[in-house]
A and B are shown apart, each in its own frame.
Chain A
Amino acid sequence: MAEDVKTPAPPPPPEGEKKPTAENSVSFTPGAAPNAAEKAAAPAGPQAPAAEKPAATTPAKPAAPAAKPAAPAKPAGPVPMPWTSPLVEKYESQYGSGLDAQSYLGQNYFSVYRSLVPDILRLLRDDEQFDYCVDITAVHYPKREKQFDVVWILYSFPRNERVRVKTQISDGASIPSSVSIWPTANWLEREVYDMFGITFDGHPDLKRILLPDGWKGYPLRKDYGILQQDQEWVQINLGIESGQ
């Protein structure tokens, strides 16, 4: 792929070495070349695995007996199982279908309705001793109606146990802040706001934390390209055309 880009490059030099100084087209070509390289790089992602696939599958076919025992073992492990514990029974009887408790690879999590989030988080801390909020984060699923998963990772020192709470919210919807439950949520929620644009109601100081205040866009959304940036901000604040 890199060679493909290089092959058109060599022809210009033999044509004449004096040209580069005069011709504008030469100054364009370096500009065009990176673009071409990027465009070439984009399909390379799918291509590279595709190239590896035949290599991986061909040895697998002769070694079919070895691969077969592994295949049934795989689905057995990573399937979300219903999580049963006294804690879950208590909450399920209280909240019914609004709450779904599951376990994946030995890690337990609750999927709850958005409206139940403040209650459940508070109960988990006050009654179940989940006194340490490890992390708050989000995941973006642009194709879903409710685009975001918001995830709380909690830990209990007395129980030595972790649990995750997650809920789904749609773009533009807000979620109650948990700063009053765990003060550590302050910066964690600011980061979620910064990266995803999810607002937390009741947060004492909800503003961007890692990106500059005036930045537009939320980088960890899936529709935000990896090379994309707030060109206007860059021009005004850095005085350059592009940060690239």
Chain B
Amino acid sequence: MSLFKNAGENDVAPSNFDLQTPEKPYLDSNELIINMGPQHPATHGVLRVILKLDGEKVLGTECVIGYLHRGVEKIAENRTYTMFNPYVDRMDYVAAVSNGLGYCEAVEKLLNVEAPPRAKYIRVILTELNRIASHQLWLGTHALDIGAMTPLFYTFRDREEILKIFERYCGARLTTHAFRIGGCQYETYAGFEKEVKNFLTFFAPKIDEYEALLTTNRIWLERTKNVGVISAADAIALGVTGPVLRASGVQWDLRKAQPYAAYSDFDFEIPIGENGDTYDRYMVRMVEMRQSMRIIEQAVNGIPEGPIMGKVPKVIKPPVGEIYHSIEAPKGELGYFIVSDGSTQPYRIRVRPPSFVNLQALDIMVRGLLVADVVAVIGTLDIVLGEVDR
């Protein structure tokens, strides 16, 4: 226990990016280079981290990624705009709805059309449900990495309810392909609103249940407080976004800063942390789940009647030009930079993946910590390797 405390106190805010700084030896031992992953349960996929150790203290890391590289951006250049839509679901596969929302909105912007209000509300409801599902999966696996097994069962049990709604809405649980360019393909099913409301009443006490397991748990506190600290300045310099940035005290959320879909209609708050440590990131995500519930409640109660598809041509041929559009995905800023040459196929699509950029911060976050904390920090970054590697 005291070991963890020491590790935290020694390195509160590593702010230099100089990889070569010699460090004072921690133990009487030689430097050791070990390999973590790519087949390692705590790396959340196929992430390989090369650790430079002094005893059990981490001196530096290097991430080796690309094991899941499928060339999504190359595929995009060889598909039509409509055909590429399902592919984006396979990047961040635990938040497929967000990926689809970002892509559809980017193409709509390029076409200069807008989805009708009803479609926007349906999009918000599903996207926020997906944010909860993504945070649930993060919480379960992150807690499991640190040694708490029970939350995994709780979160997966409750996530199932969200996936059931997705399945009834569009037939798929994970890679939903829920939205189309211009709106939504499907009208809500009979009883959709009731089911979503039922979920909200069902889920509110469940968050309290998760919090009862972890928030004041002594072991959880020891493993997360002052672990993996990143200052606001470092986070901004490293391009970190999403809950990781907010936990460092930057109150920035694209849903508020540059509202898209129907987010300007809703009343919600952006939680921030103070210390930028693993515990703050946990708290930020817990509050975000509650805020998502608030948004869903307002959206379900205020869902307007009307068409669900905008005036989009059958063959999508955006005019020559380029556009960047980004949304607040559960993991951070998810952006699409699309270049159109006026044909039915995109000339270039660049995806700005939040996981990829956030993972870059791993190195400065784990310096000076112990090996066991690397697992905690990888978990707290909430990366999905499908999105890192694309």
Contact A211 B69 (CB under 8 A): yes
Given the known inter-chain contacts A134-B326, A183-B238, please indicate yes or no for A212 contacting B66, CB distance below 8 A: yes
A210 sits at the interface (CB 8 A): yes
Bound form: Cα–Cα A184–B110 in Å? 27
User: Nearest chain B CB to A160's CB is how many angstroms away?
Assistant: 5
Interface 0/1 of A219-244, CB less than 8 Å to B: 11010101000000000000000000
Given the known inter-chain contacts A56-B313, A56-B314, A133-B239, please indicate yes or no for A210 contacting B321, CB distance below 8 A: no
Interface 0/1 of B307-336, CB less than 8 Å to A: 000000111000111111010000001010
**Which chain B residues lie closer than 8 Å to A49 at the CB level?**
80, 315, 344
B356 sits at the interface (CB 8 A): yes
Bound form: Cα–Cα A56–B326 in Å? 31
Contact B71 A219 (CB under 8 A): yes
Bound form: Cα–Cα A204–B17 in Å? 11
A121 sits at the interface (CB 8 A): no
B237 sits at the interface (CB 8 A): yes
**Which chain A residues lie closer than 8 Å to B344 at the CB level?**
49
Bound form: Cα–Cα A151–B357 in Å? 17
Bound form: Cα–Cα A208–B64 in Å? 10
Q: Which of A78-125 contact B (CB under 8 A)?
A: 78, 80, 104-105, 107
In the complex formed, the residue of B with least CB distance to A192 is: B350
Q: Which of A42-94 contact B (CB under 8 A)?
A: 45, 49, 52-53, 55-56, 74-75, 77-78, 80
A135 sits at the interface (CB 8 A): yes
User: Nearest chain B CB to A157's CB is how many angstroms away?
Assistant: 6
User: Which of B118-126, B205-213, B250-258, B367-375 contacts its partner?
Assistant: B250-258
User: Nearest chain B CB to A30's CB is how many angstroms away?
Assistant: 24
In the complex formed, the residue of B with least CB distance to A160 is: B257
Contact A135 B112 (CB under 8 A): no
Contact A77 B66 (CB under 8 A): no
A175 sits at the interface (CB 8 A): no
**Which chain A residues lie closer than 8 Å to B348 at the CB level?**
139-140, 220
**Which chain A residues lie closer than 8 Å to B357 at the CB level?**
184, 187-188
Contact A52 B352 (CB under 8 A): no
User: Nearest chain B CB to A63's CB is how many angstroms away?
Assistant: 12
Total residues of chain A contacting the partner, CB 8 A? 46
Contact partner of A78 (CB less than 8 A), chosen from B321, B337, B360, is B321
Q: Which of A115-162 contact B (CB under 8 A)?
A: 131-135, 137, 139-140, 151, 153, 157, 160, 162
Bound form: Cα–Cα A131–B326 in Å? 17
Bound form: Cα–Cα A133–B237 in Å? 8
Contact A78 B237 (CB under 8 A): no
B19 sits at the interface (CB 8 A): yes
Bound form: Cα–Cα A226–B82 in Å? 19
Q: Which range holds the interface residue count of chain B? A: 35 or more
**Which chain B residues lie closer than 8 Å to A170 at the CB level?**
none
Bound form: Cα–Cα A85–B323 in Å? 20
**Which chain B residues lie closer than 8 Å to A206 at the CB level?**
none
Bound form: Cα–Cα A62–B112 in Å? 25
User: Nearest chain B CB to A38's CB is how many angstroms away?
Assistant: 12
Contact partner of A182 (CB less than 8 A), chosen from B80, B239, B326, is B239
Bound form: Cα–Cα A75–B319 in Å? 9
Contact A137 B337 (CB under 8 A): yes
Contact A187 B360 (CB under 8 A): yes
- In this complex, which of B78, B237, B250, B326 has the most chain A Cβ atoms within 10 angstroms of its Cβ? B237
**Which chain B residues lie closer than 8 Å to A184 at the CB level?**
237-240, 357, 360
Contact A164 B324 (CB under 8 A): yes
Bound form: Cα–Cα A215–B115 in Å? 43
Contact partner of B352 (CB less than 8 A), chosen from A55, A135, A224, is A135
Bound form: Cα–Cα A135–B335 in Å? 9
Contact A132 B236 (CB under 8 A): yes
Q: What are 14 A-B residue pairs whose CB atoms fall within 8 Å in the complex?
A: A55-B314, A75-B319, A78-B319, A105-B112, A132-B236, A133-B239, A134-B239, A134-B324, A134-B326, A139-B347, A139-B348, A151-B337, A184-B357, A220-B73
